[in-house]
Structure 1
Amino acid sequence: MILCITEKPSVGSDIAKIVGASSRRDGYFEGNGYCVTWTFGHLCCLKEPADYCTEWKRWSLSSLPMIPPRFGIKLIPSDSYKRQFETIKNLIEQCDEIVNCGDAGQEGELIQRWVMQKAGCKKPVKRLWISSLTDEAIRDGFQNLRPEKELEPLYTAGLCRAIGDWVLGLNATRLYSLKYGMQGQVLSIGRVQTPTLALVVSRQLEIENFVPKDYWELKTVYRETTFSAAGKNFDVEEKGKVVIDRIKDLPLTVTDVTKKAGKEAPPRLFDLTSLQVECNKKLNLGADETLRTIQSLYEKKVTTYPRVDTTYLTDDMYSKCGGILNSLKDYQQIMIPIRGQKLRKSKKVFDNSKVTDHHAIIPTGQPLPDNLTKAERDVFNIIALRFISVFFPDCSFEQTVVNAKVDNINFKATGKVIIDPGWKVVYAGDKRQEDTEKSDKNEKEDEETAGILPPFTKGESGPHAPKLVKKTTQPPKYFTEGTLLKAMETAGALVDDEDLREALKANGIGRPSTRAAIIEILYKRGYIVKERKSLRATPAAIELVALIKEELLKSAKLTGIWEGKLRQIEHEEYSAKDFIDQIKQMISEITISVLRDPTNRRIVAEQAQDKSEKESAEGKSTKKKEKKGKK
């Protein structure tokens, strides 16, 4: 008998149908030589401090740092979990072979292997690795099962992440709570949550301490076209007036006219973070809500695996894309311009070297079920339009730059005319897209731009009307959930360029699948609140970040480097032992530093505290795991 273990009952039902296990039993399906059972997300977790040492049950500075000689796992205390685990254990004892059908990612690998370890599994194991839950994908997956050994590095990286979060989160939370908390107050510290909080606090302090300054830009109007002076900003209006008095009666001379053809490629396909950013912008969905929605679309078989960090497809997907496009019945009118043509194959879309475990998020080609919620339909629409757009031509435009001179002052006017909208026709009439592009343009625009400029000739000259335009320096904007996700992905760097963003992903903080949960933890801890779309740090959060002197605890850049090492472990390029040893050394040094603090500082804040130490570490509490499993 072959035993298939999935991560959720709903996935178990889908797989049972494919393998022919049609008889429903208590906690599993059976038939055709197969049994199909499931976990409820996490059934096991790392042991808690008191499980290793009775002295660690009581919170005490003298017991820190807590570092077990060997980490172990245990069943999450829950009657329903215990019953399901016993079912899995009994089936493992009876089977000849196991197929690990967990979600095809780092966390899925950890969930399944912990259960099999706890059950004392000695049976041969193969891995089902699929990017969608369509019948075709499941069948293909069973035809190409992977050896368990292939996924060992993925499991090792997940285990290192869990141990690192345990060592740093539990120890630092106890340390700071006992040293600086008031009356049993818990000050939650985490390997990812604290650097993320520090980003929000730093941005807020920058805004609050910002002193606006007026300045004046020199411009002039020639032949009904506004020219801007290069590098001529004045901190005092009178200085600008002196220049205007000097040049107002002198002629403006055109020194150069250039026209350049330009192209704008379609935006990249979605990884999870960019999808969360887009849904926050266009739909005002929070990161966690977007993740829940795309997970539901995946389980309803209409989109591919969501917890991905690549925006590329593999080359072999190219042959399937035509069929997927044809399946999008509600979008056929949009695709008329590319009908009858060979589908475009861009290196910005198809690149095997940029895909490891899963490709970008795209539609699967399955018909949409009638029971989609409004949020699911809206998110699917965003994914579908993006997928369609990458097969359209680039948007082509002509940019005209006119350089001119008055006395010794250089001026410039620019105009940009769309020659062929290309992929932008996909979004024609999409007000949300227009609003997003307008907002992005306003944020980036630093010079006068216009549409069609009148014809200018090099050497022409004539009168002009100079003027001063008053401007005021602006503070940075508060983070939204979307912009905070982007900052986490790039370890705090402010990056709009898609190519640079891709390069920085290797050292982003957190994983695509966990970043939304980290933001939710910060809400729950009372560290951040939302005002409209803006995220604000609470006084307690500002105090806590100011209190932390250890840069490794709060630096997004340094934490990003650690995340990079976890990815290296996943690819067998870095030692798991070295990573864990560094974590242990780090918490020992932090403990000594905090204990030596002679001040008697205390943080007082009203927070809804839950003293679950598992949540203190990284928010992966028993309750949260139960909730995930029951969905």
Structure 2
Amino acid sequence: MGKTLIIAEKPSQAREYAKTLGVKGKGEGYFENDDYIISWCIGHLFELKPPETYMDLFKVGKRWGIHRLPVLPQLGEFQYELKPSTLKQYNVLQRLLKSQEVRQVICGTDADREGQLLFQEVWDTLGSKKPLFRLWISSLTQEAIREGMSKLRPFHEVEGLAQAGYGRSYGDWDFGMNLTEGFTALFGSFDPVRKKPNVISIGRVQTPTLALVVEREWAIQNFVPVSYVELEAEFESAKGCYKGKWFDKDRLASHGQTKEAEKDQETDRDKHILDLERGKAILAKVQGRPGKVCSVKDKESTEPHPLLFDLTSLTVTASKRYGFGAEKVLKIAQSLYEKKAITYPRTDCNYLPPDMLPKLKSHLKALEQGPFEQWAKEALDRPLPKGKRVINEITAHHAIIPTTERIAQNLSPDEQKIWEMIVLRFLSTWFPPARYAEREIITVVEDEFFLTKEKTLLEPGWKRVEKTGKHSEDSAPKLPSLSQEERVGTRSCQVLQKETKPPKRYTQGDLIKAMEGAGKEVEDETLRRQLKGKGLGTVATRGAIIENLLTRGYILQQQKVLVPTEKGMELIRLIKERLPRAQLLISAEMTGQMEYELAQVERGEIPLSRYMEKVEQAVRGIIEELRHYEATHGKKPLAFAPQKQGTQGRKSKSNQESRSQEPHAPKTDKAKDGKESSASASGDSLGTCPSCGGGVEEREKGYGCQNWKKGCPFILWKNPICGKVLTPAQVKSLLKKGRTNLIKGFRSKNGKNFAAYLVWENPSSGKLKFEFERNNPTKPG
């Protein structure tokens, strides 16, 4: 009758399948019994070959350059090579797939696009014709595996998923390989600190994500604070004192609603609606004067439980609560999934499907232990959570919830934190909304209006379980009991001088949200659902994209926030100001649209060929623009990455979409004619040599005089100065003005950051010294 071969994504997954199906026999690279053979892939066994595979190197040479590009293999022409580290397991799979003993095959890799792709690469390479089915499950519990095995999907249902996987892989290769070589050939140079080329890495998702961080930094740098004042009065009644804030009565009259008037008030601050002079005039007008209560409104409001976690909201919450990076959250969640503690984590859905309702109590019963026993028992006595905030339309995978397994205390401290977050969020859905009493009072003094608001917690509801609400909420009202037309006195009044604040830098959680919303930080749940599928990257890859930006020196992690490096800012400025056709690389909307089109490929709505046509058209256009730039302007090296990159100097291994798609770094040997490499020097004069009056040019290891053969000794070495290496623009300013512009990001021996100018100490010898701002004379510690 033959056996069924199940191919898992990794050994740990295969072990769970074997345990559930009673497969106890073990061979080299597989488990086996009379009915099943269970083997695994160890992630991607193959990788796409480099661009040189498709080149005639005798004609174009081995050195990176625009003349070698573009390289755009057609569908069916992309070539793979087996990773040396996976050869042994590949041979196992090859033998099993060709075995006469195997009658049918089940793809049991992770139920997502990347999981499908890594299986598909093996399947298509070996060309097996055996009957093929898909195991589609959301957890690794025995119950879920058995149910999935009883409902195997025919392969044609996931053909679109496989095509989208190939589209992601091929499209990222086209962008990454071609544009990284093209940008590096024009804007790269030799990094003397690392003693290797300064590669200018470009990626379909990576580059627009970098643009989000850079543009936020520019908004902060260019922010001009607007001064405004708030007027706060304290009123005295027979029943007690209370405070109120002034607001524009005309706007109240035009809108008729204090909530809308208050929103307009926030906007009007930028327009100097209440400046200092007017604030002082109102203060003098109302100080010590009698007033009256002209409106008292009481109402009740409710706050429903938060939505269940998807990977994005889990990352955002863990980032705020514990300072965890996006890649760390995914790694912890994946570990919890493999330990059968939670359902599949790489999901972009906050809901559960209707067919899960009968099973939910079994998930609760697994929590009747330890710190959650009280809440689980209470929840079991409550009705099932059938509301649309829990049961709703889902995507490929439902929300992250705890499984039906009782979890032994074998979790690491970080795993415990993430698991408890998921458990408490799940438990909160069984409890009613929190109830509040809201009171709004409008007081008028001398025809000036003051607003007082109070929100009192009446019933905590779900907040008893998950303490995500305000911990300072008080169930006791503080405002005195007032009535309309009641007379009050103005006990005191003060003008509070304030300034508008610049936008905040992104945390990793904030950036993940911005990536999900195609560059927009979307709070509204309905709008978030509409934008799903049109963001930068996928829910499973965004953390790795951020990790790559850190690793490649485009951004730095400082405390909880992300800051772009000089290299990152110069790249985005170059694209925005000098390369109009390449601006699609930094368009979050354009990249989000491409992600949406991949989703259309997955659903079978458009063919893969149409997606690839758009990719190829974009790559050709940018390469042509780079070719024109080279002919017009030559080569212009960008800044180096900082010496210490990010907080985790390691390459991401989580997903091929955001793994390095860079070609191998270009060689930096001298050319045969004895001139310096075109990637390490621009050859343009940056200014006048202070020693002999000749021109100063950039070289591989420094900025030197063009008259060096005549004996001029002038040179500015590219050695780091308190962690910063001089850029061509800074040298040009130094030669012209005798000082650089203000340079931020110097780092003292004590590890403190500081900003300073660099000025000449001895121009002819190239010696420099720091000069500090007069209004900020703090020197490095």
The number of residue pairs the alignment matches comes to: 604
Aligned residue number for residue 89 of structure 2: 84
| TM-score, with structure 2 as normaliser | 0.74
Q: Which moves more between the two structures, 210-219 or 104-113? A: 210-219
- State which of 261, 283, 294 in structure 2 corresponds to 1:244: 283
Aligned residue number for residue 300 of structure 1: 339
Higher relative contact order (CA 8 A, sep 6+): 1
Provide the rounded CA distance (Å) in 1 between the counterparts of 2:400 and 2:334.
Answer: 11
Provide the rounded CA distance (Å) in 2 between the counterparts of 1:342 and 1:13.
Answer: 37
- State which of 25, 32, 45 in structure 1 corresponds to 2:27: 25
Q: Does 1:605 align with 2:640?
A: yes
Q: Does 1:348 align with 2:389?
A: yes
Q: Does 1:371 align with 2:410?
A: yes
Q: Does 1:496 align with 2:530?
A: no
Q: Which moves more between the two structures, 235-244 or 187-196? A: 235-244
Aligned residue number for residue 257 of structure 2: none
Query: In the alignment, is the contact (CA less than 8 A) between 1:101 and 1:129 conserved in 2?
Result: yes
The percent of aligned pairs where both chains have the same amino acid is 38
Provide the rounded CA distance (Å) in 2 between the counterparts of 1:420 and 1:486.
Answer: 31
Aligned residue number for residue 226 of structure 1: 243
Query: In the alignment, is the contact (CA less than 8 A) between 2:382 and 2:430 conserved in 1?
Result: no
Provide the rounded CA distance (Å) in 1 between the counterparts of 2:382 and 2:656.
Answer: 54
Q: Does 1:553 align with 2:585?
A: yes
Secondary structure at 1:548 match in 2: helix
Amino acid at match of 1:36: I
What CA deviation, in whole Å up to 9, does each residue of 1:484-509 have, x standing for no partner?
A: 11111111212223333233223111
Secondary structure at 2:442 match in 1: strand
Provide the rounded CA distance (Å) in 1 between the counterparts of 2:283 and 2:188.
Answer: 61
1:616 offset after TM fit, Å? 14
The 1:467–1:622 alpha-carbon spacing in structure 2 relative to 1, beyond 3 Å, is: closer
Aligned residue number for residue 117 of structure 2: 110
The 1:181–1:403 alpha-carbon spacing in structure 2 relative to 1, beyond 3 Å, is: same
Aligned residue number for residue 556 of structure 2: 529
Secondary structure at 2:431 match in 1: coil
Query: In the alignment, is the contact (CA less than 8 A) between 1:280 and 1:286 conserved in 2?
Result: yes
Aligned residue number for residue 65 of structure 1: 70
Q: Does 1:50 align with 2:52?
A: yes
Q: Does 1:332 align with 2:365?
A: no
Provide the rounded CA distance (Å) in 1 between the counterparts of 2:284 and 2:377.
Answer: 58
The 1:3–1:73 alpha-carbon spacing in structure 2 relative to 1, beyond 3 Å, is: farther
Q: Does 1:416 align with 2:455?
A: yes
1:337 offset after TM fit, Å? 4.7
Provide the rounded CA distance (Å) in 2 between the counterparts of 1:237 and 1:483.
Answer: 35
Provide the rounded CA distance (Å) in 1 between the counterparts of 2:626 and 2:53.
Answer: 26
Q: Which moves more between the two structures, 296-305 or 368-377? A: 368-377
Provide the rounded CA distance (Å) in 2 between the counterparts of 1:542 and 1:587.
Answer: 22
Aligned residue number for residue 629 of structure 1: none
Aligned residue number for residue 517 of structure 1: 544
Please list, as runs of the form range in 1=range in 2, the aligned pairs for 1:423-442 lying within 5 A after superposition: 423-428=462-467, 433=468, 437=470
Q: Does 1:141 align with 2:148?
A: yes
Provide the rounded CA distance (Å) in 2 between the counterparts of 1:490 and 1:142.
Answer: 36
Aligned residue number for residue 157 of structure 2: 150
Provide the rounded CA distance (Å) in 2 between the counterparts of 1:151 and 1:77.
Answer: 26
Q: Which moves more between the two structures, 223-232 or 193-202? A: 223-232
Q: Which moves more between the two structures, 242-251 or 40-49? A: 242-251
Aligned residue number for residue 191 of structure 1: 204
Amino acid at match of 2:92: T
- State which of 5, 8, 24 in structure 2 corresponds to 1:6: 8
1:573 offset after TM fit, Å? 2.8
Secondary structure at 2:231 match in 1: strand
What CA deviation, in whole Å up to 9, does each residue of 1:559-601 have, x standing for no partner?
A: 1122122222222233422211111111111112222223343
Aligned residue number for residue 130 of structure 2: 123
Query: In the alignment, is the contact (CA less than 8 A) between 2:293 and 2:486 conserved in 1?
Result: yes
Query: In the alignment, is the contact (CA less than 8 A) between 2:163 and 2:601 conserved in 1?
Result: yes
Provide the rounded CA distance (Å) in 2 between the counterparts of 1:192 and 1:26.
Answer: 39
Amino acid at match of 2:106: V
Provide the rounded CA distance (Å) in 1 between the counterparts of 2:655 and 2:526.
Answer: 35
Provide the rounded CA distance (Å) in 2 between the counterparts of 1:66 and 1:212.
Answer: 49
What CA deviation, in whole Å up to 9, does each residue of 1:273-316 have, x standing for no partner?
A: 11111111112211111111110110111110011000000111
Amino acid at match of 1:77: K
Q: Which moves more between the two structures, 49-58 or 151-160? A: 49-58
1:451 offset after TM fit, Å? 4.9
Provide the rounded CA distance (Å) in 2 between the counterparts of 1:582 and 1:210.
Answer: 37
Provide the rounded CA distance (Å) in 2 between the counterparts of 1:471 and 1:336.
Answer: 50
1:220 offset after TM fit, Å? 1.7
Aligned residue number for residue 38 of structure 2: 36
1:172 offset after TM fit, Å? 1.1
Query: In the alignment, is the contact (CA less than 8 A) between 1:127 and 1:147 conserved in 2?
Result: yes
Provide the rounded CA distance (Å) in 1 between the counterparts of 2:408 and 2:54.
Answer: 49
The 1:618–1:540 alpha-carbon spacing in structure 2 relative to 1, beyond 3 Å, is: farther
The 1:474–1:621 alpha-carbon spacing in structure 2 relative to 1, beyond 3 Å, is: closer
Provide the rounded CA distance (Å) in 1 between the counterparts of 2:378 and 2:142.
Answer: 32
Provide the rounded CA distance (Å) in 2 between the counterparts of 1:161 and 1:622.
Answer: 12
The 1:603–1:622 alpha-carbon spacing in structure 2 relative to 1, beyond 3 Å, is: closer
Amino acid at match of 2:222: N
1:404 offset after TM fit, Å? 2.6
1:336 offset after TM fit, Å? 5.4
The 1:366–1:300 alpha-carbon spacing in structure 2 relative to 1, beyond 3 Å, is: same
Q: Does 1:311 align with 2:350?
A: yes
Aligned residue number for residue 74 of structure 1: 80
Aligned residue number for residue 139 of structure 2: 132
Amino acid at match of 1:279: A
Secondary structure at 1:254 match in 2: strand
Larger Rg: 2
RMSD, aligned α-carbons: 2.5
- State which of 599, 607, 617 in structure 2 corresponds to 1:585: 617
The 1:617–1:323 alpha-carbon spacing in structure 2 relative to 1, beyond 3 Å, is: closer
1:339 offset after TM fit, Å? 4.9
Q: Which moves more between the two structures, 39-48 or 572-581? A: 572-581
The 1:58–1:27 alpha-carbon spacing in structure 2 relative to 1, beyond 3 Å, is: farther
Q: Does 1:271 align with 2:271?
A: no
Q: Which moves more between the two structures, 390-399 or 205-214? A: 205-214
The 1:75–1:308 alpha-carbon spacing in structure 2 relative to 1, beyond 3 Å, is: same
Aligned residue number for residue 444 of structure 1: none
1:171 offset after TM fit, Å? 1.0
Provide the rounded CA distance (Å) in 2 between the counterparts of 1:164 and 1:381.
Answer: 39
Secondary structure at 2:449 match in 1: strand
Provide the rounded CA distance (Å) in 1 between the counterparts of 2:32 and 2:451.
Answer: 75
Query: In the alignment, is the contact (CA less than 8 A) between 1:29 and 1:36 conserved in 2?
Result: yes
1:134 offset after TM fit, Å? 0.6
Provide the rounded CA distance (Å) in 2 between the counterparts of 1:507 and 1:134.
Answer: 32
1:413 offset after TM fit, Å? 0.8
1:552 offset after TM fit, Å? 1.0
Aligned residue number for residue 254 of structure 1: 293
1:384 offset after TM fit, Å? 0.2
Unaligned runs of 5+ in 2: 191-196, 249-264, 577-581, 663-781
Amino acid at match of 2:243: T
Provide the rounded CA distance (Å) in 1 between the counterparts of 2:218 and 2:477.
Answer: 39
Amino acid at match of 2:387: S
Aligned residue number for residue 626 of structure 1: none
Amino acid at match of 1:118: T
Aligned residue number for residue 596 of structure 2: 564
- State which of 467, 470, 493 in structure 1 corresponds to 2:497: 470
The 1:165–1:544 alpha-carbon spacing in structure 2 relative to 1, beyond 3 Å, is: same
Q: Does 1:163 align with 2:170?
A: yes
Query: In the alignment, is the contact (CA less than 8 A) between 2:544 and 2:658 conserved in 1?
Result: yes
